[in-house]
Structure 1
């Protein structure tokens, strides 16, 4: 059970068209929200909007949920993070994720196998860069430094810049038990997606058992404040259908696997089938109402107040509100959580 939930916002990644959410971020900062998180898939990147918001704010922390590891070498990600951390006065949270084989191999042209081992190497290199204790080296198979081939002239290097903080907080986006356990072992936080607060302990309690004090479980929660619960449910189903059906290969989709663990394996398979056939409207309708409701905060403020207790009773420590853009609603949600 969480003594006091922190509040943040997740503005995600751009959908179809560029979207500047500066006004939403400024409102969140004024209202005392702890953090703003950006994301990336295969369109807009996470760091550029975050830097844009950093330049317009002074207090709110700046997180990525998540930066895809295959998009950048570990050294490049470390450079991005240390640069933004310095310019923002030490406000960065680096959220990392392995993504899935469809994006990693189809978009970035990188191999996907052994994501856990790759994540360990990636984290080690990033932290070597920030700590500047010695020139950066890695003898692992995924990110060898110096590169063992090429011109044969590579040598270990140390960052020219002394980072503002030698230990920038790192969170992992993770859906499977082994990856969640890795987050608890090696990082300062877990970024769950599509999580039912009632099932975190039964499904992932063992994975989280070794987490350190202060470990942050920052859950992104689709939030729609409206008197029309049916309409809210339909809207909340759209990203579920997309991730179950389209954000993964037919035979390897971690989002589909997660929904199966939540108790909806048969329904998830049907959603994927419809989505891959091109009937996206039917795929959305096939998402169970109970699933969409369980992982979201939907309906009138009174109903959301009641359902917030499920999150307070869970191990979640930060709620990342997704889908809310206007200041009055952000204020009302803050008052519900903090009141």
Structure 2
């Protein structure tokens, strides 16, 4: 396990309203956590929890993993990142990683009514705009997917990372951005992604997101995992990613059912072994050891997403104790 990795927790946490997070967030550095991150899809937005966390616990860094580039204008993304950097810089850590990505049509179009048009080009253009804008450079440019006129703000210190799965996006993230966030992969998959990435310039961030369901109730964990994986693995970017990893045949039946409109059956068609590999479950000490396998050479952060369990939702399991136990 790499000794230099940062450990992070994804917000929101299970069983807590956002307004109830303060006690846990304040305690995270004492548990060995360095950062809090958010994602953005069908739940709450990515930035509000991070603003609250910056106020509650200034020792924590902040990250988004990831924000869709198609649901906000590039200028608004830059302004929001600058606001977070101001909060974090004035209050403590000053570390903000703005993770952006294509997202999927189900989030961009179905929830926001925005066409899922040329997403990879939009990510590239947004990355180029943000890296200039957040350094304080004036931007007046025509990109392939949008035009920005007369934008300038003070330098922020924010790093821009990409949600990246396959080599093309990984390479863009390393060559033009500050690194990448990857997820829904095994430790062996992660090693392959890192090997295929090629040379990594100094100072780049590589973040591995791990989904953890801390319960010994295997049947519950697999049901919960299938409900999530049966949907996400059938989204176009993840289909292509797992095809590259050699799982096209294993996932063929799930894809057939999903395309026929039966999402539940698509989840049920996933092999137990794959669910267990991508949706980690079991007792906390066992999970801690499995999480540690993601802290591979080159990885700078391991981001832990804690899924709801009956014990956490009922209060039978103490969330702070679980979080402290999961940190390798």
Structure 1 length as normaliser, TM-score?
A: 0.81
**Partner of 1:266: helix, strand, or coil?**
coil
Q: How does 1:1-339 map to 2 (within 5 A)?
A: 2-11=2-11, 19-20=18-19, 21-89=21-89, 90-133=94-137, 135-146=138-149, 156-159=150-153, 162-163=154-155, 165=156, 167-203=157-193, 205-206=195-196, 208-245=197-234, 248=235, 253-308=236-291, 310-313=293-296, 315-323=298-306, 326-334=319-327, 337=328
Unaligned runs of 5+ in 1: 147-155
Deviates more, 1:301-310 or 1:322-331: 301-310
After superposition, what is the alpha-carbon deviation per residue over 1:52-96, rounded to whole angstroms, capped at 9, x for unaligned? 222212111111111111111111100001011102222321111
Deviates more, 1:39-48 or 1:100-109: 100-109
Cα separation, partners in 2 of 1:14 and 1:175, compared to 1, 3 Å = farther
Q: Distance in 2 between matches of 1:97 and 1:22?
A: 28
Cα separation, partners in 2 of 1:224 and 1:203, compared to 1, 3 Å = same
**Partner of 2:184: helix, strand, or coil?**
coil
After superposition, what is the alpha-carbon deviation per residue over 1:88-142, rounded to whole angstroms, capped at 9, x for unaligned? 2223211111123454344445454443332232122223322333x32112221
Q: Distance in 1 between matches of 2:14 and 2:289?
A: 31
Deviates more, 1:36-45 or 1:176-185: 36-45
Unaligned runs of 5+ in 2: 313-318
Q: Distance in 1 between matches of 2:61 and 2:103?
A: 23
> What is the deviation of 1:179?
0.9
RMSD (Å) for aligned C-alpha atoms: 2.8
**Partner of 1:311: helix, strand, or coil?**
coil
- Kindly indicate whether the alpha-carbon contact (under 8 Å) linking 2:163 and 2:181 is maintained by their aligned counterparts in 1: yes
Cα separation, partners in 2 of 1:282 and 1:105, compared to 1, 3 Å = closer
> What is the deviation of 1:172?
0.8
- Kindly indicate whether the alpha-carbon contact (under 8 Å) linking 1:13 and 1:41 is maintained by their aligned counterparts in 2: no
Question: How many equivalent pairs are there?
Answer: 313
Structure 2 length as normaliser, TM-score?
A: 0.83
Deviates more, 1:73-82 or 1:113-122: 113-122
**Partner of 1:88: helix, strand, or coil?**
helix
